[in-house]
Each structure stands twice: as structure tokens, then as C-alpha cells.
Structure 1
Amino acid sequence: MGARAWAEAAGGAVAAAAAAAAGGRLLGTDPLPLLRDVPGGDKQALFVRKLHLCAFSFDFSDPTAHVREKEVKRQTLLELVDYVNSGSGKFTETVSNDIMFMLTSNLFRALHPLKAHDAESFDLDEEEPNLEPAWPHLQIVYEFLLRYVVSSDTDAKVAKRHIDQNFVVHLLDLFDSEDPRERDYLKTILHRIYGKFMVHRPFIRKAINFVFYRFVFETEHHNGIAELLEILGSIINGFALPLKEEHKQFLQRALMPLHKPKCLPAYHQQLSYCVTQFVEKDPRLADAVIRSLLKFWPLTNSHKEVLFLGELEEVLELTQAEEFARVQEPLFRQVSRCLTSSHFQVAERSLFLWNNEYIVQLVAQHRETVLPLVIGALEHNAKHHWNPAVHSLTLNVRKMFQEIDGQLYERCRQQCEEAEQQREAEQHRRRQQWEAVEAAAAAAASAGGAGGGMLPRR
């Protein structure tokens, strides 16, 4: 049922409540009795009346306006939450209409406009979020919705006609709220809706996909990505094996592109958990995941590089030798570039990969391929890197390779030196050629200048 139908169903009660509030008294001349003070047969009718009254929303921009009426509504909302918790009987179709009207009237609203943040300098940890001024009422409304969803008195067959796809989309819109308290409630409620209403599960996953698509490819700003990923982490954990093709596409098309935005640090922990959950369930996905990480690897953002290296280590811990063999060459070309990074945290984090015993085992099995890719970076660090910690870690990794296969290491080192000598010789030859060109140009300029100063005889 839409908002118009709910308004018509509520009818004069809502209008009376609005008129009473405008006159200064939310509950009119004669306040309604408490639910606990009326006989059992009258409770549901009184419950519906109180729902209608609580559908009226106040303006919280002025803290001094309607103070008494706001407190009366808050107390009434608390009473409604207690009624839902009391287990007073099944919620009928009619009562469910009234419940949804109260919920949508309070919750579904335009969010505050976003602050004008500088995308380059914005730091989520240093910025104060815009807290919702109506939270004293909204918190109880969210609590009511949560209790309604999980209540044994809520028949899923009846409620699913009201907590429908349109309702889910509006809930997802609210995840962009700047208030972390609101996003936390939304996270819990949407997770409970996913668990109770199985018919809505495919739609919820698809709707979250669209939120991610819009975030990555259009806005690059959304406050609730971390909370949505927390929900998905639990959902992915429950996927049955073998994984459906739909879920694999979700990994490649929705999750992996989330590594692209600049604000990745705000939700990377939750994203990394979701990705590793997929690889843990199906290790064959490691190849595609690592290639996607390499595709989105940051070029100028050292903080993101450190996060990528940490996630890479978690994925490699779940990677089988067969998948490792398919991706080792592009992987260790990138690791080699990280080893020689002038940012010491990137170089240090890449060297920490060799502190992982399982990764060392994989590298040892494929050392014929891996060592030639990284030995140049190791030798460069050992001779030239400015950071003492990076220099020390480099020597440890170099010693480890020497102990694994000393002959291979020496052969690769010699090949590396020969290649370096060839590069230096090529650079020397090019410098000489350039100096010759410059000398010829200078001579031509000098000759032209001398000739230009003589006048022809007549």
C-alpha cells in the first residue's frame, strides 16, 4: 500500500492529531489512556489510535518549539514499543496498514544536504557528521520497526505485503544518512528483514548492487557503504556451495570495483572481509580476485597501496598452488614495484609478505618464476633504499631466497647484474649520441652567427 492509501486509511485521526499539535496539544483535550490501563479487548483499537497520532512529525530545527508535545509523542512511541514486545496477539492486515503508515511517516524523509567536502582533503575521521536532530523520536521508531520485524506475532505472509520492495528501496536510501546511529539501526533492521522474508532476498541483493554501482560510477560519495558491506559479509557467509553464477558475478561486478574510489579506507575492512569470504568458499576465485586487485591497483595513493597489500596477503593465504601459478607473473611484477617504492610503508608492507609461512611455501614451489621478477628490487633496496627498516627486511628476504636455492639466487643475481650493465651501457651510448647532437647544433649555430655578420660585396 502506498503513502496516499495509508493517508486515506488513517483519515481523520491524523488530521485531528495535526490540528491538535498545531493548537499546542498533541493528544487533544482528553489524552488517550495508557495501553496497560485498558481491558484486553480494547488494547488493539487504542494501539491503532496511538499509531495514528504518532504519525505526526515535528520540526526539530527549533529545540524550544512544542517541547511538551514532543515529549508526549516520545512517551507514546515508547509505549508502542512495549506493546509490540508484550506479545498481545497477531498483527492483522488492518493493523499492519496502520503500523506501516506510522513508520513511513516518520522514517521516509529527505536527508540533510551533504556538506561541501573537498574530495582531495576530506578525512572521515576528522570530520564531525551531521547528527539527526529528530533522533529522540527516530530512535524509538527504528526500535519499533526492529521489534515488529522480529516479533513472533508478525506473520511473514501478511507483513511481506507491506514490507515490500518499495519499502526496502526507501530503507536503502536512508543508509546515506550522516548519522552513524541511524545507519547502525538500518543495518540491523535490513539484516533481520533479509532473514525473515526469504521472498525478498534476491531483490535486496540486487538493490544493494545498484547502490554500489551508483556510488562507484556516478557519485563516489555514500555514507553507508561500510554498513551495507557488513550486511553482505553475513549474507555471503551463508551462501551454499557450489556458488551460483549470480554470486560470482556480484563479486566481479559489484565488490571488486569498490576498490576504485578514493574513500576506500572508510570501508576497506568490511570490503576485504567480503572478498576473502568468497575465496574461502571457492579458492578457484583467487585468480580472478587477484587480477582484479592488480587492475585497480592505486598509482599515486600510498595509503591505498598499503591496504591493497594487506588484502592481497589475506587472499594469498587462501590461494591454492594451481591458482597461484596462473597469476604469479603479473602479481610479482606489481610486488616488485612496491618493493622499491620510495614510500617506506609500501615497501615495508610488501616485504612483510615473506613473513607469512604459507606464502613463502608457494613462492618456494615457484621460485624459478618468482625470483627473477623480484631479485632486481631486492638488490636495489639492499644497495640504495633510504629506510633502515626496509633495508633490514630486504636483507632478510634475500637471505631466505639464498637458503631456499642458493644456486638459483646466484644465477639470477648475475643475470640481474648483466642486465643492469647493459642498461648502463645503453644509457651511456644514448648520452654520447645526445652530446654529439648538441655539439653539432652548437657548431652550426656558431657558423651561422659568424657568417651572418659579413656583408656581401657589390
Structure 2
Amino acid sequence: MIKQILGKLPRKLSKSAENREFGGIANPSSNSSTNSRRSDLASNQFGHLNNPVLLGSNLAPSLNHGNKLPQFANLKLNENSVSLSYEALPSFRDVPSSEKQGLFIRKLNLCCVVFDFTDPTKNLKEKDIKRQTLLELVDYVTSANEKFTENFMQEITKMVSVNLFRALMSPTRENKVSESFDMEEEERSMDPAWPHMQIVYEFLLRFVASPETDTKLAKRCIDHSFVLRLLDLFDSEDSREREYLKTILHHVYGKFMVHHPFIRTAINHIFYRFIFETEKHNGITELLEILGSIINGFALPLKEEHKLFLVRVLIPLHKPKCIPMYHQQLSYCITQFVEKDCKLADTVIRGLLKYWPITNSSKEVMFLGELEEVLESTQLAEFQRCMVPLFHQIDCCLNSSHFQTWSSTFYLSPKVKVSVDIIVSSILITVIMFTA
């Protein structure tokens, strides 16, 4: 009975527990052991940042922290640690057919390691191994004779994302296009990682264009987020990269019909920002080339959203100062609209007159050339609507002090004169019929 009573009494706390209970200072040995455990946890949690072998492992996604771009792609690799683990995998020719799919996945994971190309003397052996592996992956996708599974597609888009999707390092770049723009003298910086990136782009192009790529499955991997990041890369200063992006996006648009409205809307947003905010973008020319093919495929009659695109995007693209960069492609897109719907000629001509350059004679020559192409497809009824403001602008050009402006206007005036003669003749015929 006494033992039961004593058992219910609170026991005396130990010295260390008493200190913890009342906020006292623990003994030094306990404090040092706690610090050591914390340091071990810290080293286990963040130690993989210094280990490039883990860059392609499951630990890497923990570095994203909500950012769409894979942050581990920008980490610097340690040359010694990579050389110990980065070894070439066997060739597809050296393994039986039953093991090729597994080897394909392993090669994709091997290519997820991104090297530092700013120093050409680093990781030479490893870079060569990766380059050869990428070439083997291109051959494998090109010669594939069975449908790619969804798992394959996920691994493919993962490897492509790690190697291509990155922040373009040009936040302080000034727009080099000025009044004296010369495309031949325009210098563009070339990405030092291009020897590997080019093969990755070729791999992605072959994968998208492959008949073994099932659209219904592939759209889960090549989704809106993937397309947006492709479009972000169009601002690259490397023209070679933009050419690959143009070809790939063209294939994506042709193969994935479900993405058609989204791609057009995303491109529109790029143009809106370029026209009304920054006037700085490296890929306007390539995007207009893609749109030229898209507009060429528009069905008749044109949808209202397509006409709004002409009014809100294409015509205001005459406003930026750097229009010489992309004027040829822009003129082609606008001419396509007029050829498909002649009633749009009045809208286009009035739009050109709205943004007509006043003090830049070289831009005036470009506008006159575009106006000439538009007039080729303009019907008489549409010409009569914009005739008065058009003649006023032509008169100003004829009185220009710059010889290129008035000489180009002389080439334009015969076409206008024919239209005027037709109008005058029709008026005279009408008068004669009424007087008779």
C-alpha cells in the first residue's frame, strides 16, 4: 500500500532534464552532441550540392523550390569527382534487343549531367562521353520502329528540359538596332555550350517528327508549360538556336492540334510585350516566319480572332524602331491576309499610314515597298475607301528631299495611276449614261 502511494508521487528530475524543463543551460557534453547531430543533418541535406554525381538523381528536384527551370543545371561541376563516376555506357549494338530500352533510359539519365562550358579545359573526357551518348540517342530515336511509351517520353522531356531550359543571360543587353541598322554587321554572342545543345535540339526535333511518337501520349509531356519554355528560348542571342527552335515549334504546331490556340495566344503575348513595353527581343523574325506558315493555312472565311490579330499585333509591329530586323517577314504575313480577304486592304493601308515614318527615309522606302505589295492584291472598291489619305501620303513622298524616297514613290505611282484611271473612267461612263 505504501509502495503504491509512493509510486504516484512525482519523481525527481535529473539534472539535465531539469535544466531542459526550466530553460536552464545543459551540460557541455550534451550541447556538443546536439550541435554535432545538427551539423550531420546539414551535411546530409545540402552535401549533394557539391556532388555532381547526384545531379541526375532523385535529389535534384528538391532544388527547384517552385521554379519552373531546373536550377541544378547551372551548378558548377567538380572535375575530379565527375571523372571518377562519369563513364561511357555500352553501345546499343553491344546489347541484346531486350535490354535496349533500359539502356536508352540509362543513357538519357547520363545526359542529364550539365557541364560548365565557360572553361574549355574542364571535363574534356566527360564532355566527349556525353556528346557521343547524345549522338547515339539521336540515332536510336531516328531508327525506332515501335511506339514510344509514356515513360520514355517523360524521360526524354526531362533530359531535354535539363539541357535546354535555362535563364538567358542578357538582362543588361542594350538594343543594338538604331537608326543606322545593318543586319550584316549585327553581332550576336554564341553560346559556348552549343556543341552539346545542338545535338539535344536535333534529338528533340527527331522525337517530335518521329511517326512513333503518339500525339495522345506525347501531349501529356509536351504540354503548355513545355511549349512556354520553348517560346522563352526564342530570345536567345544565338541565331543557330533560334533556327532550331523555329523548326521544332513548327513541327509541334503541325502535330499537336490541341495546342494551336495556346501557341498563337502565347506568341501574341510576346508581341504585345515587345511592341508596348520593351521593343527588345531577338526572336521576332523567327516567330513571324512561323506565323507566316500558320496564316497561309487559315481556312476561309477568316475567323474574327484572326482579323483581330492583324489589327492588334501585325499592324502595330510597324511601330518599333528595330523594324528593319523583321520587316520582310512582317510584310509577308500582312500580304497573306490581304490575299485571303481583299476587304482587309483598307484596314492594312490605313494602318500603314498611321505608323508611317516621318524622319526616317530608309523606313519610308520599306513602307513604300510593302504598300506596293498590298496594292497588288487590292480591289477597286477597297482602294476607293482609302484613296484620299493614301494620295496625301504619296504627295508628301514625292516632295521628299531624299532621293530614295521619291524614286521609290515613282515606282509606286504607275500602279496608283492605273487605279485612278479606272476610277475616272467609271465616273465618266456613269456620267455619259445618265446624260444620254
- TM tier, shorter chain? 0.7 to 0.9
Flag the 1:86–1:119 CA change in 2: closer, same or farther, 3 A: closer
8 Å CA contact retained: 1:111, 1:174: yes
Tell me the equivalent position of 2:387: 328
Flag the 1:248–1:27 CA change in 2: closer, same or farther, 3 A: farther
- Quote the offset at 1:354 in angstroms: 3.0
Residue type of the alignment partner of 1:115: R
* Counterpart selection for 2:100 from 43, 67, 87: 43
Counterpart Cα distance in 2 of 1:324 and 1:252 = 18
Flag the 1:117–1:205 CA change in 2: closer, same or farther, 3 A: closer
Tell me the equivalent position of 2:407: 348
Tell me the equivalent position of 1:103: 160
1:61 aligns with 2:108: no
8 Å CA contact retained: 1:229, 1:271: yes
Tell me the equivalent position of 2:270: 211
Counterpart Cα distance in 2 of 1:48 and 1:271 = 43
Superposed CA offset, 1:130-181 (max 9, x none): 1111000000000000000010111000000111111111111100111110
Counterpart Cα distance in 2 of 1:150 and 1:64 = 36
* Counterpart selection for 2:169 from 109, 112, 116: 112
Residue type of the alignment partner of 1:86: S
1:242 aligns with 2:289: no
- Quote the offset at 1:39 in angstroms: 0.8
Tell me the equivalent position of 1:80: 137
Counterpart Cα distance in 2 of 1:98 and 1:255 = 38
Counterpart Cα distance in 2 of 1:50 and 1:26 = 17
* Counterpart selection for 1:227 from 283, 286, 289: 286
Counterpart Cα distance in 2 of 1:352 and 1:327 = 19
Tell me the equivalent position of 2:255: 196
Q: Higher relative CO (CA 8 A, sep ≥ 6), structure 1 or 2?
A: 2
Tell me the equivalent position of 1:263: 322
Counterpart Cα distance in 2 of 1:19 and 1:173 = 23
Counterpart Cα distance in 1 of 2:163 and 2:336 = 37
Counterpart Cα distance in 2 of 1:233 and 1:352 = 27
Tell me the equivalent position of 2:343: 284
Superposed CA offset, 1:64-113 (max 9, x none): 11111111111100000000001142211111111111000001011121
- Quote the offset at 1:14 in angstroms: 10
Flag the 1:26–1:175 CA change in 2: closer, same or farther, 3 A: farther
8 Å CA contact retained: 1:13, 1:49: no
Counterpart Cα distance in 2 of 1:176 and 1:32 = 35
- Quote the offset at 1:367 in angstroms: 4.6
8 Å CA contact retained: 1:10, 1:98: no
* Counterpart selection for 1:299 from 358, 380, 391: 358
8 Å CA contact retained: 2:356, 2:364: yes
Identity of aligned residues (%): 61
8 Å CA contact retained: 1:255, 1:271: yes
Instruction: Provide TM-score, normalisation by structure 1.
Output: 0.75
Structure 1 segments unaligned to the other structure (5+ residues): 1-6, 370-403, 405-458
Residue type of the alignment partner of 1:364: D
8 Å CA contact retained: 1:21, 1:69: no
8 Å CA contact retained: 2:292, 2:332: yes
Structure 2 segments unaligned to the other structure (5+ residues): 1-53, 63-72, 429-436
Question: How many pairs were matched up?
Answer: 362
8 Å CA contact retained: 2:56, 2:109: no
Residue type of the alignment partner of 1:94: N
Tell me the equivalent position of 1:382: none
8 Å CA contact retained: 1:287, 1:324: yes
Counterpart Cα distance in 2 of 1:14 and 1:40 = 32
- Quote the offset at 1:13 in angstroms: 10
Superposed CA offset, 1:366-421 (max 9, x none): 3599xxxxxxxxxxxxxxxxxxxxxxxxxxxxxxxxxx9xxxxxxxxxxxxxxxxx
Residue type of the alignment partner of 1:301: N
Residue type of the alignment partner of 1:47: F
Instruction: Give 3-state SS (helix, strand or coil) of 2:235's partner.
Output: coil
Instruction: Provide TM-score, normalisation by structure 2.
Output: 0.78
Flag the 1:218–1:13 CA change in 2: closer, same or farther, 3 A: closer
